Structure 1
């Protein structure tokens, strides 16, 4: 339903999006995650017909975004990370205004407004002025606005940004409900665990290029396949880190201190026991050795720390296979 082919966007010599290939299946929620400045907003802006790519193609359904922008705009609901509101309108008037702008039949606007306010839990604020709403309420109103013309595709740029924990949970539940309505959702964030709870697939982007793309199950399995271990020693932590970095089952060293080293370990219990034995035989004074508890955030940091810009997508597809 959403597809890009070798998509690139350059600003002079700077390449914001590099050879990006995405394929989001109909009826799925796709999480697009990356650090600030990784190219998420640029990609979403191209898909929303707000920006032209330097090269490559992008499609919403069968419509190509640069040659058929009017068709694409009818197919999508786009919510930027920061959007304006009309302070002197009530919530009901705000949705009615956008319903008219989207070309929704006048006899459907009232009905659709009522349904959407119920969906985003703003029924009791229908007659409140938009400027009086909290940040979380405004975000939910923005999502309702995107749905006024009932588009099959939603493109959401960091919809939970700046929200308190309760508002984030509410937003997450609304987005999960959209999957049940058959919507295709592309949602960006810089917080991987937040996306993992509501997405079918996840793509990780760094410096404009995809470094990993797979189902949530595969990504989760990849994360749980490594253990984050903490080694506490009496001294020589820096030397221990150098020693550990050359071990076949140590995939990364995360923390280096004089009396503590944290690392990612790819082996099981038996390999872990052998690792400790080798460490002691090497003469290091080990005080404790325990698992910190790896997470999807650890995986995100590991994948994005030292990836080379060239050939990232090929390497990522092999890594996640």
Structure 2
């Protein structure tokens, strides 16, 4: 549905994007993660036809964003990280204005406005002036504005920025609803735990390049080709960690209370053999399982140590 192929963009001596490639299919929520200056907003702006790439191509539903920009704009809804309001307009009037801009027939506009306000949980705000709404309500109204022309793709740049926990929860639920409507959503955020909750896939960017991409479950389970495992025992966890560190495929073994955690690069059969060796060694195993990292741990690992080889495209 959306695709970047070797896209590069420079601003003077600064390369905002450097051979960036990414693909997301229909109905997926895809998260972009990266430090400030990683190129997230530049990538989104190119996809939204607001910037021209210096090299490479970007497409929406097979349409090149440069050669067929007008058609692309009809298929996307773009929500920038800064929400501008129009003084003197009520929320309903605000949406009607954009409906007119998208040439929605006059007779359809009242019903459309009502539907959109209900979708973003603002059903009673049609007559309220936009500039008097809370930040969270403005963000939801901005999202409703993106949906006026029923686009297939939504590009959301930091939609939860500055929102309180309740407003963030409401935004997450709206994004889940959009997924159920088979929309493709490209979303950037600095709130990594929440991205993990709502995204099907994530991509970590640094210095304009793609470092890691793939399903959330895969990325949080894998580290440099190894899975993080934990064996809980009744006692002698420190000894167990020492024993594990001598076994093939095991790295970074350590004791934590009554458990030993470690990374393991072997397959399931080798994992079973390792567990059998632990039992034969005299340890009483209570539980053995895989431990998933959170996105913050992944982000720190790949941006601080040069990245990992996970390819989910």
TM-score (norm 2): 0.79
| Matched residue, 1:76 | 76
| Matched residue, 2:107 | 107
User: What is the SS of the residue equivalent to 2:162?
Assistant: coil
Contact 1:210 1:316 in 2 (8 A): no
For residues 71-118 of structure 1, the C-alpha deviation after alignment (integer angstroms, 9 at most, x for no partner) is 111010000000211121000000000110111111111111000100
Give the ranges of 4+ consecutive aligned residues of structure 1 lying more than 6 Å apart after TM superposition: none
- Deviation, 1:217, is 2.2
| Matched residue, 2:288 | none
Matches within 5 A, 1:247-286: 249-250=251-252, 265-267=262-264
Contact 1:33 1:191 in 2 (8 A): no
Q: Hey, what's the Cα distance between the residues in 1 that align with 2:292 and 2:19?
A: 35
Q: Which of 62-71 and 187-196 deviates more?
A: 187-196
Can you give the 5+ residue segments of structure 2 that lack an aligned partner in the other structure? 231-248, 254-260, 265-270, 279-290
Q: Hey, what's the Cα distance between the residues in 2 that align with 1:199 and 1:82?
A: 22
For residues 197-232 of structure 1, the C-alpha deviation after alignment (integer angstroms, 9 at most, x for no partner) is 11111111111111111112212322793379xxxx
User: What is the SS of the residue equivalent to 2:205?
Assistant: strand
| Matched residue, 1:304 | 303
User: What is the SS of the residue equivalent to 2:86?
Assistant: coil
For residues 263-318 of structure 1, the C-alpha deviation after alignment (integer angstroms, 9 at most, x for no partner) is x94259x79xx9xxxxxxxxxxxxxxxxx99422111110111217xxx8xx443x
Q: Hey, what's the Cα distance between the residues in 2 that align with 1:295 and 1:195?
A: 10
Contact 1:2 1:59 in 2 (8 A): yes
User: What is the SS of the residue equivalent to 1:121?
Assistant: coil
Q: Which of 103-112 and 158-167 deviates more?
A: 103-112
Q: Which of 159-168 and 193-202 deviates more?
A: 193-202
Matches within 5 A, 1:42-191: 42-191=42-191
- Deviation, 1:59, is 0.2
Q: Hey, what's the Cα distance between the residues in 1 that align with 2:131 and 2:190?
A: 27
Q: Hey, what's the Cα distance between the residues in 2 that align with 1:35 and 1:265?
A: 28
Q: Hey, what's the Cα distance between the residues in 2 that align with 1:194 and 1:35?
A: 16
Closer/same/farther in 2, CA of residues 265 and 87 from structure 1, 3 Å limit: farther
RMSD: 3.0
User: What is the SS of the residue equivalent to 2:78?
Assistant: strand
Q: Hey, what's the Cα distance between the residues in 2 that align with 1:183 and 1:293?
A: 28
Can you give the 5+ residue segments of structure 1 that lack an aligned partner in the other structure? 229-246, 252-263, 275-291
Q: Hey, what's the Cα distance between the residues in 1 that align with 2:294 and 2:188?
A: 19
| Matched residue, 1:226 | 228
Closer/same/farther in 2, CA of residues 294 and 155 from structure 1, 3 Å limit: closer
Q: Hey, what's the Cα distance between the residues in 2 that align with 1:227 and 1:95?
A: 51
More helix by share: 1
User: What is the SS of the residue equivalent to 1:15?
Assistant: strand
User: What is the SS of the residue equivalent to 1:84?
Assistant: coil
- Deviation, 1:13, is 2.5
